[in-house]
Amino acid sequence: MPTSVIGLFETQDIARKVVSALGKAGFDDDKIETLTKIGVGEVTDRLVEAGYEKDKASRYGEAIQKGGVLIVADVEDDKADEALSTMRRFDVLTPEALLESAGEETSAQVIEESLEVGKTKVSAGKRLTTEVSEREVEETVTLHDESVEVERTKVGKTLKPGETADAFKETSVEVSGYTEKPVVSKEAHVVEEVSLNKNSGERDVTVSGTVRRQDVTVEDVDQKAKSSKKS
Protein backbone atom coordinates (compact mmCIF):
# COMPACT_ATOMS: atom_id res chain seq x y z
CA MET A 1 0.00 0.00 0.00
CA PRO A 2 1.51 3.37 -1.01
CA THR A 3 2.33 5.88 1.68
CA SER A 4 2.90 9.65 1.23
CA VAL A 5 6.05 10.79 3.02
CA ILE A 6 6.42 14.58 3.16
CA GLY A 7 9.26 16.88 4.11
CA LEU A 8 9.31 20.67 4.33
CA PHE A 9 12.53 22.47 3.43
CA GLU A 10 13.59 26.09 3.55
CA THR A 11 15.09 26.54 0.06
CA GLN A 12 14.87 25.17 -3.45
CA ASP A 13 18.54 24.21 -3.30
CA ILE A 14 17.99 21.93 -0.31
CA ALA A 15 14.87 20.45 -1.93
CA ARG A 16 16.81 19.54 -5.09
CA LYS A 17 19.40 17.75 -2.98
CA VAL A 18 16.65 15.78 -1.23
CA VAL A 19 15.07 14.72 -4.53
CA SER A 20 18.48 13.64 -5.79
CA ALA A 21 19.16 11.66 -2.59
CA LEU A 22 15.78 9.92 -2.86
CA GLY A 23 16.51 8.98 -6.46
CA LYS A 24 19.90 7.54 -5.52
CA ALA A 25 18.20 5.57 -2.74
CA GLY A 26 16.07 3.85 -5.39
CA PHE A 27 12.83 5.77 -5.11
CA ASP A 28 10.87 6.47 -8.31
CA ASP A 29 11.39 10.07 -9.50
CA ASP A 30 7.93 10.08 -11.06
CA LYS A 31 6.41 9.57 -7.61
CA ILE A 32 8.36 12.42 -5.99
CA GLU A 33 6.51 15.73 -6.16
CA THR A 34 7.91 19.17 -5.34
CA LEU A 35 5.36 21.75 -4.24
CA THR A 36 6.34 25.42 -4.20
CA LYS A 37 4.83 28.76 -5.13
CA ILE A 38 1.29 27.43 -5.24
CA GLY A 39 -1.79 28.45 -3.32
CA VAL A 40 -2.65 27.32 0.20
CA GLY A 41 -5.78 25.63 -1.08
CA GLU A 42 -3.92 23.51 -3.61
CA VAL A 43 -1.43 22.34 -1.01
CA THR A 44 -4.20 21.63 1.49
CA ASP A 45 -6.17 19.58 -1.03
CA ARG A 46 -3.09 17.60 -2.05
CA LEU A 47 -2.20 16.67 1.51
CA VAL A 48 -5.80 15.93 2.52
CA GLU A 49 -5.92 13.62 -0.49
CA ALA A 50 -2.77 11.94 0.86
CA GLY A 51 -4.48 11.38 4.19
CA TYR A 52 -3.45 14.38 6.31
CA GLU A 53 -5.83 16.35 8.47
CA LYS A 54 -7.03 19.58 6.92
CA ASP A 55 -5.70 21.87 9.64
CA LYS A 56 -2.24 20.35 9.42
CA ALA A 57 -2.34 20.38 5.64
CA SER A 58 -3.31 24.06 5.73
CA ARG A 59 -0.28 24.86 7.92
CA TYR A 60 2.00 23.32 5.28
CA GLY A 61 0.27 25.46 2.67
CA GLU A 62 0.93 28.61 4.71
CA ALA A 63 4.58 27.61 5.13
CA ILE A 64 5.00 27.31 1.37
CA GLN A 65 3.66 30.85 0.99
CA LYS A 66 6.60 32.01 3.15
CA GLY A 67 9.11 30.49 0.72
CA GLY A 68 9.20 26.87 1.90
CA VAL A 69 9.43 23.90 -0.44
CA LEU A 70 7.37 20.75 0.24
CA ILE A 71 8.40 17.36 -1.11
CA VAL A 72 5.78 14.61 -1.29
CA ALA A 73 7.10 11.12 -2.03
CA ASP A 74 4.64 8.31 -2.66
CA VAL A 75 6.45 5.14 -1.59
CA GLU A 76 5.57 1.63 -0.59
CA ASP A 77 4.66 1.25 3.06
CA ASP A 78 7.72 -0.84 3.83
CA LYS A 79 9.94 1.87 2.29
CA ALA A 80 8.40 4.79 4.21
CA ASP A 81 10.94 4.72 7.04
CA GLU A 82 13.82 4.67 4.57
CA ALA A 83 12.37 7.63 2.64
CA LEU A 84 11.88 9.52 5.90
CA SER A 85 15.44 8.80 7.01
CA THR A 86 16.75 10.05 3.65
CA MET A 87 14.85 13.33 4.06
CA ARG A 88 16.08 13.75 7.61
CA ARG A 89 19.65 13.84 6.41
CA PHE A 90 18.81 17.39 5.37
CA ASP A 91 17.28 20.36 7.18
CA VAL A 92 13.70 19.20 7.53
CA LEU A 93 11.39 21.82 9.07
CA THR A 94 7.99 21.78 10.64
CA PRO A 95 5.52 24.38 9.33
CA GLU A 96 5.67 26.16 12.66
CA ALA A 97 9.48 26.35 12.58
CA LEU A 98 9.53 27.71 9.03
CA LEU A 99 6.81 30.27 9.75
CA GLU A 100 8.60 31.38 12.89
CA SER A 101 11.93 31.79 11.13
CA ALA A 102 10.26 33.61 8.24
CA GLY A 103 8.52 36.00 10.63
CA GLU A 104 11.62 36.81 12.61
CA GLU A 105 13.99 39.47 11.51
CA THR A 106 17.19 39.59 13.46
CA SER A 107 19.72 42.25 12.78
CA ALA A 108 23.03 43.33 14.17
CA GLN A 109 24.75 46.60 13.61
CA VAL A 110 28.25 47.24 12.43
CA ILE A 111 29.38 50.18 14.51
CA GLU A 112 32.57 52.09 13.99
CA GLU A 113 33.88 55.08 15.86
CA SER A 114 35.58 57.90 14.04
CA LEU A 115 38.07 60.34 15.47
CA GLU A 116 36.89 63.92 15.20
CA VAL A 117 39.31 66.64 16.18
CA GLY A 118 38.08 70.11 17.03
CA LYS A 119 39.52 73.17 18.67
CA THR A 120 38.74 74.96 21.88
CA LYS A 121 40.27 78.10 23.31
CA VAL A 122 42.13 77.79 26.57
CA SER A 123 43.07 80.97 28.39
CA ALA A 124 46.76 81.29 29.21
CA GLY A 125 49.02 84.33 29.47
CA LYS A 126 51.01 86.56 31.76
CA ARG A 127 49.90 89.08 34.37
CA LEU A 128 51.60 92.32 35.35
CA THR A 129 51.40 93.21 39.02
CA THR A 130 53.02 96.21 40.66
CA GLU A 131 54.16 96.21 44.24
CA VAL A 132 55.93 98.82 46.35
CA SER A 133 59.05 97.97 48.31
CA GLU A 134 61.35 100.11 50.44
CA ARG A 135 65.11 100.18 50.86
CA GLU A 136 67.54 102.34 52.74
CA VAL A 137 69.58 104.76 50.62
CA GLU A 138 72.61 106.70 51.85
CA GLU A 139 74.03 109.82 50.26
CA THR A 140 77.01 111.89 51.44
CA VAL A 141 76.72 115.69 51.46
CA THR A 142 79.27 118.34 52.57
CA LEU A 143 77.95 120.89 55.04
CA HIS A 144 79.54 124.24 55.88
CA ASP A 145 79.46 125.69 59.44
CA GLU A 146 80.39 129.14 60.81
CA SER A 147 80.90 129.75 64.52
CA VAL A 148 81.40 132.94 66.53
CA GLU A 149 84.22 132.87 69.02
CA VAL A 150 84.92 135.35 71.81
CA GLU A 151 88.50 136.45 72.22
CA ARG A 152 89.56 138.66 75.11
CA THR A 153 92.84 140.68 74.91
CA LYS A 154 94.30 142.67 77.76
CA VAL A 155 94.93 146.33 76.80
CA GLY A 156 96.90 148.68 79.03
CA LYS A 157 95.73 152.00 77.57
CA THR A 158 94.81 155.19 79.32
CA LEU A 159 91.94 157.14 77.81
CA LYS A 160 92.44 160.76 77.07
CA PRO A 161 90.08 163.31 78.59
CA GLY A 162 88.20 163.68 75.38
CA GLU A 163 87.74 159.94 74.89
CA THR A 164 86.24 159.40 78.30
CA ALA A 165 82.88 160.86 77.40
CA ASP A 166 82.54 158.54 74.42
CA ALA A 167 83.84 155.57 76.29
CA PHE A 168 80.96 155.15 78.68
CA LYS A 169 78.09 154.40 76.32
CA GLU A 170 75.92 151.34 76.10
CA THR A 171 76.42 149.58 72.80
CA SER A 172 75.51 146.24 71.36
CA VAL A 173 77.51 144.40 68.76
CA GLU A 174 76.23 141.24 67.06
CA VAL A 175 78.22 138.86 64.91
CA SER A 176 76.27 136.06 63.27
CA GLY A 177 77.51 132.81 61.85
CA TYR A 178 75.57 130.16 59.90
CA THR A 179 75.46 126.42 59.79
CA GLU A 180 74.15 124.10 57.05
CA LYS A 181 71.75 121.25 57.73
CA PRO A 182 70.89 118.47 55.28
CA VAL A 183 67.47 118.79 53.67
CA VAL A 184 65.97 115.58 52.22
CA SER A 185 63.49 115.61 49.35
CA LYS A 186 62.36 112.83 47.07
CA GLU A 187 61.93 112.79 43.33
CA ALA A 188 60.45 109.88 41.36
CA HIS A 189 62.09 108.67 38.17
CA VAL A 190 60.86 106.08 35.67
CA VAL A 191 63.74 103.65 35.33
CA GLU A 192 62.07 100.82 33.34
CA GLU A 193 58.86 99.94 31.56
CA VAL A 194 57.45 96.41 31.30
CA SER A 195 54.74 95.81 28.69
CA LEU A 196 52.74 92.80 27.47
CA ASN A 197 52.17 92.18 23.78
CA LYS A 198 50.21 89.42 22.04
CA ASN A 199 51.61 87.62 19.01
CA SER A 200 49.47 85.34 16.85
CA GLY A 201 50.79 82.27 15.07
CA GLU A 202 49.85 78.80 13.88
CA ARG A 203 51.25 75.37 14.66
CA ASP A 204 50.42 71.84 13.56
CA VAL A 205 49.61 69.31 16.26
CA THR A 206 49.11 65.57 15.63
CA VAL A 207 46.30 64.14 17.74
CA SER A 208 45.90 60.38 18.23
CA GLY A 209 43.18 58.36 19.88
CA THR A 210 41.69 54.88 20.06
CA VAL A 211 38.47 54.20 18.16
CA ARG A 212 36.32 51.10 18.42
CA ARG A 213 34.56 49.02 15.78
CA GLN A 214 31.87 46.41 16.23
CA ASP A 215 31.77 43.83 13.45
CA VAL A 216 29.11 41.25 12.71
CA THR A 217 30.09 37.65 12.00
CA VAL A 218 27.63 35.39 10.26
CA GLU A 219 27.80 31.66 11.04
CA ASP A 220 25.71 28.75 9.91
CA VAL A 221 23.65 27.16 12.67
CA ASP A 222 22.50 23.56 12.40
CA GLN A 223 18.73 23.28 12.48
CA LYS A 224 16.86 20.17 13.50
CA ALA A 225 13.20 19.71 12.83
CA LYS A 226 10.71 16.91 12.50
CA SER A 227 9.18 15.69 9.23
CA SER A 228 5.86 13.97 9.06
CA LYS A 229 4.95 10.52 7.79
CA LYS A 230 1.45 9.34 7.01
CA SER A 231 0.72 5.72 6.32
Closest Cα partner for 223 from 37, 8, 2, 6?
8
Per the DSSP assignment, residues forming a β-bridge with 229 are 5
Task: Spell out the residues 6+ positions from residue 229 whose beta carbon is closer than 8 angstroms to its own.
Answer: 3, 5, 6, 80, 81, 84
Percent of the chain scored above 70 by pLDDT? 90
Q: Report the alpha-carbon distance of residue 4 to residue 17 in Å, rounded.
A: 19
Residue-level pLDDT at 205:
85
Residue-level pLDDT at 107:
61
In tens, the pLDDT along 153-212 reads 887 777 777 777 677 777 788 878 788 888 888 888 888 888 888 888 888 888 888 988
Residue-level pLDDT at 231:
37
Confidence bin at 227 (pLDDT 50/70/90): very low
Q: Report the alpha-carbon distance of residue 7 to residue 155 in Å, rounded.
A: 171
Residue-level pLDDT at 225:
44
Domain 2-108+226-230 has CATH 1.20.1260.10: no
| Cβ atoms 79, 27 nearer than 8 A | yes
Q: Report the alpha-carbon distance of residue 74 to residue 1 in Å, rounded.
A: 10
In tens, the pLDDT along 21-63 reads 988 988 888 888 888 878 888 888 888 888 888 888 888 888 8
